[in-house]
Amino acid sequence: MFKDITLGQFFPGDSVIHKMDPRVKLVLTVLFIIMLFMAKNIYGLLVGIAFTIISYLLSRIPFSMILKSMKPIIPIVTFTAVLNVFFIRTGDLLWSWRFIKIYNDAVNTAVFMVVRIVCLIVGTSLLTYTTSPIDLTDAIERLLSPLKRIGAPVHELAMMMTIALRFIPTLIEETDKIMNAQKARGSELDTGTFKEKVRGMVPIFIPLFVSSFRRAEELATAMECRCYHGGEGRTRMKQMSTAPRDWFACVYVAVFWAGIIVMNMFFK
Partner 1 sequence: MSIIKTEDLTYVYGEKTPFRKVALDNVNIEINEGEVVGVIGHTGSGKSTLIQHFNGLLKPTSGRVLIDGEDFTGDKKKLREVRFKVGLVFQYPEYQLFEETVYKDIAYGPKNMGLSPEQRDARVLESAQLTGLDESLLQKSPFELSGGQKRRAAIAGVMAMDPKVLILDEPASGLDPQGRDRIFEMLRTYHEVKKNTMLIVSHSMEDIVKIADRILVMNEGRVFCFDRTRKVFSRAEELERIGLAVPQVTRVIHRLNAMGFDLGEDVYTVKYAEGQILSRLKAGGEG
Residues that bind partner 1 (CB under 8 A): 3, 174, 177-178, 180-188, 190-191, 202-203, 206-207, 210-211
Q: Which is nearer to partner 1, 91 or 207 (CB)?
A: 207
Residue 5 or 184: the one with the smaller Cβ distance to partner 1 is 184
Give the Å distances, CA to CA, from 186 to 11, 180, 183: 40, 10, 5
Angle between helices 104-130 and 63-70 (to 10 degrees): 120
**Least distance (Å) between residue 199 CB and partner 1:** 11
Q: How far is CA 214 from CA 29, 217, 220, 223, 240, in A?
A: 38, 5, 10, 14, 34
**Nearest residue (CB) to partner 1, 128 versus 211:** 211
Q: Which is nearer to partner 1, 78 or 180 (CB)?
A: 180
> Phi/psi at 108 (nearest 5 deg)?
-55, -50
* Minimal distance, residue 215 CB to partner 1, in Å: 11
Burial class of 149 by CB neighbour count within 10 A (0 to 12, 13 to 18, 19+)? exposed
CB of 4 to partner 1, least distance (A): 9
Q: How far is the CB of 64 from partner 1 (least distance, A)?
A: 14
Nearer to partner 1 among residue 164 and residue 202 (C-beta): 202
The minimum distance between CB 181 and partner 1, in angstroms, equals: 4
- Number of neighbours of residue 101 by Cβ within 10 angstroms: 13
**Residues 138 and 22 sit within 8 Å (Cβ to Cβ):** yes
Smallest gap from residue 55 Cβ to partner 1 (A): 26
Nearer to partner 1, 53 or 206 (CB): 206
**Nearest residue to 69 (alpha-carbon basis) of 127, 28, 12:** 127
The residue (of 152 and 210) whose beta carbon lies closer to partner 1 is 210
Shortest spacing between CB 166 and partner 1, in angstroms: 20
75: exposed, middle or buried (Cβ count in 10 Å: 0-12, 13-18, 19+): exposed
Judge whether 29 and 121 are in contact, CB under 8 Å. no
